Chains A and B, each alone.
Chain A
Amino acid sequence: MNITRSGGLVAIALVGALALASCAANEGGTGSDTPSDLSGTLAGAGASSQGSAQEAWVAAFQTANPGVTVDYDPSGSGAGREAFIAGGVAFAGTDSALKPEEIDGGFAGCVPDTGYIQVPAYISPIAVIFNVDGVEELNLDAATIAGIFKGDITTWDDPKIAALNEGTTLPSASITAVHRSDDSGTTKNFADYLSKVAPEVWDAEPADPFPYASGEAAQGTSGVVDAVTNGVNTIGYADASKAGDLGVAEIKVGDEFVAYSAEGAAAVVAESPAGDTAGDTDLSITLDRTTTDPSHYPLVLVSYIVTCVEFEDAEAAPLVKSYISYITSEEGQAEAAASAGAAPLSPEVSAQVATVLDTIVTG
């Protein structure tokens, strides 16, 4: 008795909801000026740093190609690479380039021995954000940042900070340094920058988890931003687009203090040397963190798209090719810059990526 009743309840709720709205008002019937013959569902997964950019790209791409549905799971770089290697998704977004052992293991979704494609798609400067009473501007160099986050520098009026900020009154309050509690490419890039520029202070190997047991931890970029905003005398690091109204420190590059900028971030990427695994279809780079050119902003995160050259599932190939071509095009990069605060790829890099994407075998 009761069973059917409870089932009935659920059924009533379901039918009611279905009757209320049979279809979302914004879906279906969206005409586009240039009808496209692409159709199908494309699934990607990976870095959450790309999440909001992917959302913008997906929206624009689906509007241009009404027959296509693109889903991007912002489940994390590791999860994305794993899913791609296992053949679960057609492309992956990742904050760190594929590891050699992952490449050697092969990719289940690709035709064996046809290789893979790895191209930069998303560049985001990382901002050092702070929330200190009475302090509007803050200059820091890598050694000081490293000291703060490692726990060596514990008060805001420490001579090392004061020396970089003449004319600013710093409170004698203790510093609460907030880092990421989840493994993240942002932490890895942040640590990579510090360990390259200030190796004498930051002696830990750069990796996804935060290496030291100091300061506070918060989940995700949003968590760090919330902790810094709601706390007192806090400092943290986050994707620059999420800094909001918080104070952003200028970091020392060469002899000058540089605020983050999209141009500075893109310039570093354009002039960085090729990475260890780089090849014809792999455009991974090793970021030049120790640059002394003040037009560069070396505290930056580069996120890649990884996909196949030749797909086992031939129907996926044209979708992937046209989608990734779109997101790495100037138009797509401008969209990401507007919606997600990304730094657009420079035209040269964009052209290189286009050449690589041409190698995708379609049909």
Chain B
Amino acid sequence: MTDVTGPPNALTSGRLPRWATPVLLVVSWAVMLGVFVLMALAGGSDVAIAPALFLGTLLFVVTGFVLSLLVEGLRQAKDRLVTSLVVSAFLVALIPLISVLFTVVSNGRHRFDAAFFSNSMRNVVGEGGGALHAIMGTLEITGMAALISVPIGLLTAIYLVEYGRGPLARAITFFVDVMTGIPSIVAGLFAFAFFALVFADPGIRFGFGGSIALALLMIPVVVRSSEEMLKLVPNELREASYALGVPKWLTILKIVIPTSIAGITTGVTLAIARVIGETAPLLIIAGFTASMNYDLFQNRLMSLPVFVYTQYANPGADVAPYLERAWAAALTLILIVMLLNLIARLVARIFSPQLGR
């Protein structure tokens, strides 16, 4: 008879069973809730559920680590610890984000109706009215800003990654970093001062100026994120392309950009998202109006963030309809970006090559 038991299999022994994690979590929560209920009974106060869950999770992380350390050893214990930390980081971050979204949706739905999208605020006092003029203005201003900044930003990123060597590239890298530090309100001041000088009109207000201010804010984000994504394209791909005799510019257009297109579109959408909600510069250069204006180059042009801000800051005697419009406009703004995001992702999926994941 040979001894079939032998030494335990190193790969399967010393593991916590699969059910250990959920059970431990539930037990930790139950323990902490129990403690808080006791405290509430003793103190006569309400049971604080949120802190109980928080401390329960903490207890779970600690006991999970200790248990795993005892049974599985240090390496597995660390792995478990990081896993629970990563998951809890995610959950903790979700709380404020969900709270923001919930606040916007629950407050915005009251006025999220047809009238809101077919009316401007012209001749509207108190209830009624809509934000069509502001929606148009935001699309025009941001669209123009994207038209200016995406080509410039992307080409600059390509220059920095593929061509740029020496002092000029270093200077551009450096000054793009500097640009990320332009406070949005300074960009607005600059656009205002610049166009007031150029057109000799000290009260100048027009949408295109807003686009320029937003483009100033967008360009560094586009450059920075595209640069990172282009850098991550493996050199082997480029070299393989050169080896096949493909010219450099075609390599960039057909190999490098498609490989990083998902990251680049993310960067561009992020950049748009970064500026579409800017209020301060638009307040200065694009101005404030209650009427429709389709002309980017003449007269005041309303935008959604300015609309939200002025509805909040300058309400009439009856505040409620103004606040409802403000929240509805905020909801609209988020939905617009969501739509843009969706389109960008679709584009990215169509054009990016099938990778390993």
Interface residues of A (CB under 8 A from B): 1-3, 5-7, 9-14, 17-18, 20-21, 23-27, 30, 41, 43, 45, 48, 51-52, 55-56, 58-60, 62-63, 69, 71-75, 83, 86-89, 108, 220-222, 241-242, 244, 338-341
Contact (Cβ within 8 A) B120 A27: yes
A-B contact pairs, 15 of them (CB 8 A): A9-B343, A21-B118, A26-B120, A26-B124, A27-B291, A45-B203, A48-B314, A55-B290, A56-B316, A59-B125, A73-B288, A73-B300, A74-B288, A88-B204, A220-B313
Contact (Cβ within 8 A) A341 B118: no
B312 at the interface (CB under 8 A from A): yes
CB distance from A202 to the nearest CB of B (A): 27
B119 at the interface (CB under 8 A from A): yes
With a cutoff of 8 Å between Cβ atoms, the chain A residues found around residue B146 in the complex are: 6-7, 10
With a cutoff of 8 Å between Cβ atoms, the chain A residues found around residue B122 in the complex are: 24, 26-27, 59, 62, 69
Interface string of B330-342 (1 = CB under 8 A from A): 0000001001100
Could you tell me the distance between the alpha carbons of A41 and B287 in the complex, rounded to whole angstroms? Answer: 14
Contact (Cβ within 8 A) B287 A73: yes
Look across to chain A and name the residue whose beta carbon is closest to the beta carbon of B312: A222
Q: Which of B132, B287, B315 contacts A52 (CB 8 A)?
A: B315
Q: Which of A21, A27, A51, A60 contacts B314 (CB 8 A)?
A: A51
Could you tell me the distance between the alpha carbons of A108 and B200 in the complex, rounded to whole angstroms? Answer: 12
Contact (Cβ within 8 A) B125 A339: yes
Tell which of B26-34, B41-49, B147-155, B240-248 binds the partner. Answer: B147-155
Tell which of B52-60, B71-79, B135-143 binds the partner. Answer: B135-143
Could you tell me the distance between the alpha carbons of A3 and B253 in the complex, rounded to whole angstroms? Answer: 11
Look across to chain B and name the residue whose beta carbon is closest to the beta carbon of A88: B203
Q: Specify the main secondary structure of chain B where it touches its partner.
A: helix
What 14 additional pairs, Cβ within 8 angstroms, besides A21-B117, A25-B115, A71-B291? A5-B351, A13-B143, A24-B120, A24-B292, A43-B300, A52-B315, A59-B122, A60-B125, A75-B284, A220-B313, A222-B315, A241-B317, A244-B319, A339-B125
Closest 10 CB pairs of A and B: A88-B203, A51-B314, A86-B202, A24-B120, A341-B317, A10-B143, A88-B202, A25-B118, A59-B123, A52-B316
Q: Which of B124, B155, B313 contacts A48 (CB 8 A)?
A: B313
Contact (Cβ within 8 A) A14 B140: yes
Give the total of B residues in contact with A, Cβ under 8 Å. Answer: 62
CB distance from B297 to the nearest CB of A (A): 15
Interface residues of B (CB under 8 A from A): 115, 117-120, 122-126, 129-130, 132-133, 135-136, 139-140, 142-143, 146-147, 150-151, 154-155, 201-205, 253, 257, 261, 264-265, 268, 283-284, 287-292, 299-300, 310, 312-317, 319, 336, 339-340, 343-344, 347, 351
With a cutoff of 8 Å between Cβ atoms, the chain B residues found around residue A340 in the complex are: 316-317
Look across to chain A and name the residue whose beta carbon is closest to the beta carbon of B145: A10
Could you tell me the distance between the alpha carbons of A5 and B349 in the complex, rounded to whole angstroms? Answer: 13
Look across to chain A and name the residue whose beta carbon is closest to the beta carbon of B264: A2
Could you tell me the distance between the alpha carbons of A103 and B29 in the complex, rounded to whole angstroms? Answer: 71
- How many inter-chain contacts with C-beta < 8 Å in the A-B complex? 157
Contact (Cβ within 8 A) B123 A7: no
Contact (Cβ within 8 A) A9 B123: no
Tell whether A41 pairs with B290 under 8 Å between CB atoms, given A3-B150, A26-B129, A51-B310: no
Look across to chain B and name the residue whose beta carbon is closest to the beta carbon of A225: B319
Could you tell me the distance between the alpha carbons of A36 and B257 in the complex, rounded to whole angstroms? Answer: 60
Interface centre among A18, A24, A244 (most CB of B within 10 A): A24
CB distance from A57 to the nearest CB of B (A): 9
Tell whether A30 pairs with B292 under 8 Å between CB atoms, given A3-B154, A71-B300: no
Tell whether A24 pairs with B130 under 8 Å between CB atoms, given A13-B340, A71-B287: yes
Contact (Cβ within 8 A) B117 A10: no
With a cutoff of 8 Å between Cβ atoms, the chain B residues found around residue A20 in the complex are: 117
Could you tell me the distance between the alpha carbons of A55 and B124 in the complex, rounded to whole angstroms? Answer: 8
CB distance from A313 to the nearest CB of B (A): 12
CB distance from A342 to the nearest CB of B (A): 9
Could you tell me the distance between the alpha carbons of A156 and B137 in the complex, rounded to whole angstroms? Answer: 49
With a cutoff of 8 Å between Cβ atoms, the chain B residues found around residue A71 in the complex are: 287-291, 299-300
Interface centre among B124, B288, B336 (most CB of A within 10 A): B288
Look across to chain B and name the residue whose beta carbon is closest to the beta carbon of A55: B125
With a cutoff of 8 Å between Cβ atoms, the chain A residues found around residue B202 in the complex are: 83, 86-88, 108
Tell whether A5 pairs with B288 under 8 Å between CB atoms, given A24-B133, A52-B315, A222-B315: no
Q: Which of B151, B203, B287 contacts A3 (CB 8 A)?
A: B151
With a cutoff of 8 Å between Cβ atoms, the chain B residues found around residue A339 in the complex are: 125-126, 316-317
Interface centre among B136, B315, B343 (most CB of A within 10 A): B315
With a cutoff of 8 Å between Cβ atoms, the chain B residues found around residue A45 in the complex are: 203
With a cutoff of 8 Å between Cβ atoms, the chain A residues found around residue B124 in the complex are: 26, 59
Could you tell me the distance between the alpha carbons of A75 and B185 in the complex, rounded to whole angstroms? Answer: 14
Q: Which of B119, B154, B201, B343 contacts A25 (CB 8 A)?
A: B119
Could you tell me the distance between the alpha carbons of A244 and B316 in the complex, rounded to whole angstroms? Answer: 11
CB distance from A210 to the nearest CB of B (A): 18
Interface centre among B115, B123, B133, B290 (most CB of A within 10 A): B123
CB distance from A224 to the nearest CB of B (A): 11
